Amino acid sequence: MDAPNITRMASEVSVQQYGKERLLSFYETMVKIRRFERLVREKFLGGEIPGFVHVYIGEEAIATGVMANLTNSDYIESTHRGHGHTIAKGANLNNMMAEIFGRKTGCCKGKGGSMHIADFSVGMLGANGVVGGGYNLALGAALAIKMQNRNDVSVVFFGDGASNRGTFHEAANFAAVWKLPLFFVCEMNEYASTTPYRTATSVDDIAQRAYGYNMPAVIVDGNDVLSVYEGAKKQIDYIRAGNGPAFLECKTYRVDGHFVGDPEKYRTREEVQKNVDDRDPIMLFERKISKVFTKKDLADVQSKVDDQIAGALKFAQESPEPDASELFSGLYV
Ligand SMILES: Cc1ncc(C[n+]2csc(CCOP(=O)(O)OP(=O)(O)O)c2C)c(N)n1
Ligand SMILES: [Mg+2]
């Protein structure tokens, strides 16, 4: 039996009611993330990108559906798997790609790389290489929103693995006691690097944890962008009304390895393929909107996105690396 704070939701609004423009923007964002990630994977394997890269392939519907409820003055805190969140929040693609390539023109001057992208101009406060490192930063942003009497929301994205960090519980309790506008969005993708969810987590649904902090929780199919959108809307409306924090659990699946190059010995190819065949979020959405758009409409979106990403790649590749003299600038210590 579910804890009393939990609502399981599926999209209740018909595709037609959404309006063409909004549907097409959902599609564009998901395709942009997918194609950006495929290119980053290719360039990483080709040796052009330094460091480590974790891609968001298969989870595009979550960032897309949540972010469609936000404006630039709302904040997000992201994870090590943060490219999708950053793109959906509207960050500049050129500066983002340059950051991943470690170039001077990157949004963090090439010093952060994939796991430390930030773009304050759109409220993207940062990806985070520390698992569970985002909660209390988002909490601080939520406290600032409240102290400034703003109606904005601070969103923290985190994985099933990160839900087991103590920082989750500290932030959840603080936010609940102070009624802060903090939105917890859990991306339950079945694995925390090589660890299957069930071997490390005590509950069937991570949303159960919210009960201990008096937080309402919604559970959605994280591969259905409309369900994510509507679930997030319900929770964000609740938060903006001044009720304090809320929780959203999105059930999804990590299709790629934990990091690009992961040998993936902890699962079978069949399991992965089944998720690709049955649950791919872009395929599911294309099916849903097939009566509203022609193949040509969708192909036009794809080629527009490809042009943008090709432009971002060229910008990154042609940008210089940071000067050695800048090594110690921008540091706090
Ligand atoms: C504090 C900390 N512990 C361990 C790691 C190594 N690490 C990086 S990602 C990851 C798994 C995270 O799993 P999850 O939160 O489910 O996110 P997902 O990768 O599935 O998106 C681990 C253990 C880390 N970066 N930080
Ligand atoms: Mg995970």
Share of the chain above pLDDT 70, in %: 100
User: What are the structure tokens assigned to 158, written together?
Assistant: 């985190």
Beta bridge partners of 14: none
What is the reported pLDDT for 331?
79
Give the residue, by CA position, lying nearest to ligand 1 atom 7: 131
Does the CB atom of residue 85 touch ligand 1 within 6 A? Answer: no
DSSP 8-state assignment for residue 107: T
Q: Is the pTM of this model over 0.95?
A: yes
172: Cβ contacts below 8 Å, ≥ 6 apart = 135, 184, 209, 210, 212, 213, 215, 245
Contact 311, 285 (CB under 8 A): no
201: Cβ contacts below 8 Å, ≥ 6 apart = 160, 163, 164
Tokens 């964002």 map to which residue? 29
Atom of ligand 1 nearest to the CA of 189: 20
**Average pLDDT for 248-252:** 98
Does the CB atom of residue 156 touch ligand 1 within 6 A? Answer: no
Confidence of residue 253 (pLDDT cuts 50, 70, 90): very high
What is the reported pLDDT for 330?
80
The domains found in the chain, sorted by start residue, are 6-212+221-319 (3.40.50.970)
**Is a pLDDT exceeding 90 seen at residue 96?**
yes
φ, ψ dihedrals at 157, nearest 5°? -95, 140
Residue-averaged pLDDT of the chain: 97
Atom of ligand 1 nearest to the CA of 80: 9
Does the CB atom of residue 159 touch ligand 1 within 6 A? Answer: yes
What is the reported pLDDT for 190?
98
Confidence of residue 333 (pLDDT cuts 50, 70, 90): confident
- Alpha-carbon Rg for the chain in angstroms: 19
Gap from CA of 249 to ligand 1 centroid (Å): 17
**Average pLDDT for 237-253:** 98
Confidence of residue 218 (pLDDT cuts 50, 70, 90): very high
Confidence of residue 327 (pLDDT cuts 50, 70, 90): confident
Beta bridge partners of 155: 76, 183
Contacts for 43-51: CB closer than 8 Å, 24+ residues apart: 43/101, 43/313, 44/260, 44/261, 45/260, 45/261, 48/101, 48/317, 49/100, 49/101, 49/102, 49/114, 50/101, 50/102, 50/113, 51/102, 51/113, 51/114, 51/115
Nearest-angstrom CA–CA distance, 31 and 281 = 10
Does the CB atom of residue 162 touch ligand 1 within 6 A? Answer: yes
Nearest-angstrom CA–CA distance, 133 and 305 = 32
What is the reported pLDDT for 314?
98
Give the residue, by CA position, lying nearest to ligand 1 atom 12: 192
Nearest-angstrom CA–CA distance, 222 and 248 = 10
Kindly report, residue by residue over 22-36, the tens digit of the pLDDT: 999 999 999 999 999
Q: What is the SS3 assignment for 6?
A: strand
Does the CB atom of residue 83 touch ligand 1 within 6 A? Answer: no
Note residues around ion ligand 2 (Cβ under 5 angstroms).
159-161, 189, 192
Does the CB atom of residue 322 touch ligand 1 within 6 A? Answer: no
Give the residue, by CA position, lying nearest to ligand 1 atom 5: 131
**CA torsion angle 222 227 232 237 (round to 10):** -170
User: What are the structure tokens assigned to 230, written together?
Assistant: 């509507």
Confidence of residue 258 (pLDDT cuts 50, 70, 90): very high
What is the reported pLDDT for 332?
78
Atom of ligand 1 nearest to the CA of 163: 15
Kindly report, residue by residue over 97-112, the tens digit of the pLDDT: 999 999 999 999 999 9
Indicate the pairing of strand 124-126 with strand 6-8.
unpaired
Atom of ligand 1 nearest to the CA of 258: 19
Nearest-angstrom CA–CA distance, 143 and 69 = 20
- Per the document, the length of the chain is 333
